[in-house]
Amino acid sequence: MKILLHERATEVVPGTTLFQLRQQVKPDADILIYNGAIASADLPLREGDAVHLIRRGEAPSAADMESLLVARHTPGVHERVRQGVVGIAGLGGLGSTIAVALARTGVGKLVLADFDVVEPSNLNRQQYTIAQIGMYKAEALTEVLGQINPYVQLDARIVKLDETNLLDIFGSVQVMIEAFDTPAAKAMIVKTFRKHRPDIPLITASGLAGYGSSNQIRTRRVLGNLYLVGDEETAARPGMGLMAPRVGIAASHQANAALRLLLGLEVEED
């Protein structure tokens, strides 16, 4: 009889119960998930049942994490994602949220760079915690991502990016994402990649402040391998600050565009 154990097809003896399976596989499991619900009583297992045996607070093994992602993404999709290398320049509201999304997706390697530290004002939209205030964002985000998916390879740099070091750090990525705060920094990365590495897709963002309609934020191809996310006009100003929902929407657009590019798909423009 076959069941799904940790999302993997597993042969068990007919008549085996849930508690017997725990004793055989993971005696120290204190949470038993049976077909999506916590089970507190012993149950007979049937063909096709899905079981997870969890020890509270324990991280899944690399093999278990791989099985979980394969099951959610399908094998062919996950294999391409797992081989992906994505660069993120700037680890604020956009960059930290993009990194979390791509780590959860199982992208194989993330190259991250930022010179800033976590400040209290960052907590309204960035993926950091009160306990991380004062830490360099590159270090804090490494900590966050390690709690989400410890098997994603991270190359996190504490560095101020400019024309002299940008390509040394990100020259080997398959997809590049711009997540800077200032127009000058945004212009610098676009100019550098367009001039020296036009073969690497670059996903930028502009116009995501405030609380306007979600549907105003869109992804479009600007020129060649350059993509732009946002409404292209709503800049941060008094009364129109950067807020978690709209920043998160734009970040998810950028992350999804990167995913589509890794899968060899066109980035939608509407």
DSSP 44: B
| CATH code, 119 | 3.40.50.720
Contacts of 195 (CB under 8 A, 6+ apart): none
H helix or E strand, kind and range, residue 194: helix 183-196
Q: Do residues 224 and 198 touch, judged by C-beta distance below 8 A?
A: yes
Residue 140 in any domain: the answer is yes
Q: Are strands 226-230 and 218-223 parallel, antiparallel or unpaired?
A: antiparallel
Two tokens, residue 202? 């670059």
- 256 occurs within a structural domain: yes
Please check whether residues 46 and 138 belong to one and the same domain.
no
CA angle, 106 then 109 then 112, to 5°? 115
Instruction: Out of 33, 58, 83, pick the residue that ends a domain.
Output: 58
Any idea what DSSP says for residue 158? Answer: E
Domain span at 84 = 75-262
DSSP state of 181: S
pLDDT in 10s for each residue of the chain, 270 residues: 999 998 889 999 999 999 999 999 999 999 999 999 999 999 999 999 999 999 998 888 888 888 888 888 887 898 999 999 999 999 999 999 999 999 999 999 999 999 999 999 999 999 999 999 999 999 999 999 999 999 999 999 999 999 999 999 999 999 999 999 999 999 999 999 999 999 999 999 999 889 989 999 999 999 999 999 999 888 777 877 889 999 999 999 999 999 999 999 998 754
Number of domains composing the chain: 2
Cα separation of 93 and 80, whole Å? 27
Which CATH number do you get for residue 18? Answer: 3.10.20.30
Tokens 């006009």: give the residue.
Answer: 233
Residue 113 and residue 215 share a domain = yes
Same domain for 33 and 105? no
Residues 85 and 47 in one domain: no
* Cα-Cα-Cα-Cα dihedral sign, residues 160, 166, 168, 169: positive
Alpha carbons 30 and 58: distance in angstroms, whole number: 11
Sheet holding 218-223: strands in order across?
153-158, 109-114, 85-89, 175-178, 202-205, 226-230, 218-223
